[in-house]
Amino acid sequence: MFQTGGLIVFCGLLAQTTTLLEALSLPLEHTLFLEVTPGQDPSPTDLAGDLTDGLSSGLLSGGLLDILENLPLLNILKTGGGTSGGLLGGLLGKVTSMVPLLDSIIELKITNPQLLELGLVQSPDGHRLYVTIPLGIVLNVNTPLTSSLVKLAVKLNITAEILAVKNDQGKIHLILGDCTHSPGSLQISLLNGFAPLPVQSLVDSLSSFLNKVLPELVQGEVCPLVNEVLSELDVTLVHSIAELLIHGLEFVIKV
C-alpha cells in the first residue's frame, strides 16, 4: 500500500512539472524579445563622446582647416614693427649680410593644418564643460630661390568653456563661455633638422614673432566657429547634456 501511494504522488508531481515546462516553453523570437530590451537614454560615456564627435565634425565641416591654412601671418609680419620695412625688414636685416639669398622677400606658407583629438573635462561643481581643441600647422619659410628654407611645426590649444542656461521660456540650451588659447600650449619646433647659424637666427626671430601674434590670431578665428558649431548640435544631445549641467550631475569620466 505504501509503495502504491508513493507511485501515485510521484506521477502527480511529474505531470505538474511537465505542464509547467510546457507553459514556459516560448518561441525563440519571444524569448529574445524579453531578454534584449534596449535602453532609451544614452549613457554618460555616450553623451561625452557624442559631444566631442559633434564638435569635431562641426569644426571640420565649418572650414576650420581652411581657416588655419589662410591665417594672414605674412601680412602681419610685413606690417609689424616700427621700421619702414616692418618686422620682415628687421628680420632680413639680421641675416642678409651673412646669407645673400635672404636679400629677397620671405614667403610664409602654412601647410598641413590639423585638428587633433578633442579633450573634455567637467568642472568640479559639475555645471561647466571645458573643451580642449588641439590644432597643428606646418609653417614653411620660403624665398623665391629655394623650395623650402625652413619648416616649423606649430601646435596650439584652444580651450572653450560650455555652459547650460535656461531662457525666459524655461528652455535649456548650451552656450559658449570663455574661449581662449591655453597658456603655455604653443609649441614650435624645427622639422628639417639642424639649421646654420644665420638661419637659426631667423628661426629664433620667427618663434618670438609667433609667440606674440599666433595665439590671439588663432583664438580670434576659431572661437566664433566654435560658437556657431555649438548652436548647430543635435537638439536631443544638447538637451540631455544641458539637463545634467543645470543640476551639476557628473557625466564626463575622469581619466
- Spell out the alpha helix ranges (H) of 96-234: 197-231
Q: Which of 228, 238, 244 is nearest to 176 (CA)?
A: 228
Q: Are 155 and 138 in contact (CB under 8 A)?
A: no
pLDDT at position 14 over 60: no
pTM: 0.74
pLDDT band, residue 40 (cuts 50/70/90):
very low
47's enclosing H/E stretch is helix 44-61
pLDDT at position 64 over 50: yes
Burial classification of residue 22, based on how many CB atoms lie within 10 Å of its CB (0-12 exposed, 13-18 middle, 19 or more buried): exposed
Mean pLDDT of 217-234: 95
In angstroms, the CA 91 to CA 100 distance is 13
Q: Residue 190's pLDDT is what?
A: 87
Look up residue 231 and give its three cell numbers.
548652436
Q: Residue 44's pLDDT is what?
A: 61
pLDDT band, residue 125 (cuts 50/70/90):
very high
pLDDT at position 35 over 80: no
Which residue would you say has higher pLDDT here, 172 or 186? 186
pLDDT band, residue 164 (cuts 50/70/90):
very high
| Identity of residue 49 | G
Over the chain, what is the mean pLDDT? 77
In angstroms, the CA 126 to CA 114 distance is 30
| Identity of residue 240 | S
pLDDT band, residue 242 (cuts 50/70/90):
very high
